[in-house]
Amino acid sequence: MSILIYAESENRKLKKTAFEVASYAFAIGKKMDMDVAAVTINADSPESLGDYGVKKVLNIQNDKLNTFNVENYAEVISKAAKEVNAGIIVVSQSANAKYLAPLLSINLEAGYASNVVELPHTEDGFQVKRNVFTNKAFGMAEISTDIKIIGLSTNAFGVHDNNVNAEVSDFNPELPSTDLKVESVDKNTDKVSIADAEIVVSAGRGLKGPENWGMIEDLANVLGAATACSKPVSDMGWRSHGEHVGQTGKPVASNLYIAIGISGAIQHLAGINASKTKVVINTDEEAPFFKAADYGIVGDAFEVVPQLIEKLKDFKASNA
């Protein structure tokens, strides 16, 4: 038995989450005495997964898989799992991984736990700790099937070097027939997505209007961050729905979350609570966000943010 990871790539480049998932799987392997195999789809340099503990890579190169079609991807990953006799499968919690994992679990008759935040506990059955109630609590979940699927929450484990020699072999499973078709993809490729971002800069109604988002974009640019917004802002149409973070929006699990002019409604806080460090900038010192944040500035965003941008530029220049 081995552990299989689905190592995601984008535009042929392996994603950081692929390395995180590999690092996590290696740590499980060490604990349970299992080797880690990976499946990659149209990725360059699959051997680099060895740096994070992967011993074997099933390298799929197939032009028909250039766009993500869930039926095809779930099928080839299921076949990879059978190929390496996988007892444990680890995927990230990207939008695509969340889309395919339930299909995988039915294909493989595997129990699947999503939003997992630490290594499995194996003393009393196979148990994983996962986020529940939108980050307001944790649950220890026991997976009782022979094959187990773990969805690892982004940034929960981190990337760790484990120098192993990865043996790469070509893998060409047949694709299923499906009439599900991806017609077009509209993706802002120069901007980092909220799901992949280390840092997220988020703003709320305190900004008074969509015309004031220039400084939020500037701050995000200096930090290499994604931009996000609160629910009222997206409901009023100031920013697109895709930027709405919170309970009914996108979840955020970044290393740093900067909230500007967001009061901190319970639904918003729940959605961003998995972020490691939280900073709030708000004029109202009574804003609930101050209770959830690590660092706070009571002040006017229109004064604080431009200063912060300039100071960060200096900081970046001297730490480059």
Partner 1 sequence: MKILVCISHVPDTTSKINFTDNDTTFDTNGVQFVIGPNDEFGLTRAMWFKEKQGASIDVVTVGEKDAEPTMRKTLAIGADKAIRVDAKPADAFQVAKEIADVAKNGNYDLIIAGRESIDYNGGMVPGMVAKLLGMNFINTCVSLEIEGDKATAVREIDGGKETLSCSLPLVIGGQKGLVEEKDLRIPNMRGIMMARKKPLEVKAPVAEESRVEFKKFSKPAPKGEVKLVDADNIDELINLLHNEAKAI
What is the smallest separation between the CB atom of 119 and partner 1, expressed in angstroms?
A: 16
Ramachandran area for residue 277 (φ above 0: left; ψ -120 to 50: alpha; else beta): beta
Q: Report the alpha-carbon distance of residue 119 to residue 139 in Å, rounded.
A: 13
Could you say which of 122, 132, 161, 284 contacts partner 1 (CB under 8 A)? 132
Could you say which of 195, 203, 215, 253 contacts partner 1 (CB under 8 A)? 195
Binding status of residue 242 toward partner 1 by CB under 8 A: yes
Rounded to a whole number, what is the largest CA-CA distance in the chain? 60
Binding status of residue 249 toward partner 1 by CB under 8 A: yes
Tell me the CA distances in angstroms from 227 to 48, 191, 201, 259, one per residue in order: 30, 9, 5, 10
The window from 18-26, 54-62, 66-74, 160-168 that contacts partner 1 (CB under 8 A) reads 66-74
The window from 55-63, 82-90, 165-173, 245-253 that contacts partner 1 (CB under 8 A) reads 245-253
Binding status of residue 196 toward partner 1 by CB under 8 A: yes
Q: Report the alpha-carbon distance of residue 74 to residue 92 in Å, rounded.
A: 14
Q: Report the alpha-carbon distance of residue 109 to residue 81 in Å, rounded.
A: 12
Q: Which is nearer to partner 1, 25 or 199 (CB)?
A: 199
Give, as ranges, the residues between 172 and 191 that touch partner 1 (CB under 8 A). Answer: 178-189, 191
Nearest partner of 230 among 212, 254, 255, 206, judged by Cα: 206
Binding status of residue 21 toward partner 1 by CB under 8 A: no
Count CB-CB contacts under 10 A for residue 194: 22
Q: Which is nearer to partner 1, 179 or 211 (CB)?
A: 179
User: 61 CB contacts (<8 Å, ≥6 apart)?
Assistant: 42, 170
Count CB-CB contacts under 10 A for residue 141: 19
Binding status of residue 255 toward partner 1 by CB under 8 A: yes
What is the smallest separation between the CB atom of 206 and partner 1, expressed in angstroms?
A: 14
Tokens (6 digits) for 238: 């100031």
Could you say which of 65, 70, 159, 168 contacts partner 1 (CB under 8 A)? 70
The window from 21-29, 33-41, 142-150, 165-173 that contacts partner 1 (CB under 8 A) reads 142-150
DSSP 58-79: EEE--GGGSS--HHHHHHHHHH
What is the smallest separation between the CB atom of 94 and partner 1, expressed in angstroms?
A: 6
What separation, in Å, do the N-terminal and C-terminal C-alpha atoms of the chain show?
A: 45
Could you say which of 112, 157, 171, 213 contacts partner 1 (CB under 8 A)? 112
Tokens (6 digits) for 148: 């187990």
Binding status of residue 141 toward partner 1 by CB under 8 A: yes
Q: Which is nearer to partner 1, 1 or 132 (CB)?
A: 132
Q: Exposed, middle or buried, 121 (CB in 10 Å: 0-12/13-18/19+)?
A: middle
Give, as ranges, the residues between 270 and 309 that touch partner 1 (CB under 8 A). Answer: 270, 273, 276-277, 279-280, 290-300, 303-304, 307-308
Give, as ranges, the residues between 207 and 226 that touch partner 1 (CB under 8 A). Answer: 223
Give, as ranges, the residues between 39 and 58 that touch partner 1 (CB under 8 A). Answer: none
What is the smallest separation between the CB atom of 320 and partner 1, expressed in angstroms?
A: 13
What is the smallest separation between the CB atom of 91 and partner 1, expressed in angstroms?
A: 12
Q: Which is nearer to partner 1, 110 or 166 (CB)?
A: 110
Q: Which residue has the tokens 């929450």?
A: 153
Could you say which of 43, 87, 244, 253 contacts partner 1 (CB under 8 A)? 244
CB 36 within 8 A of CB 23: no
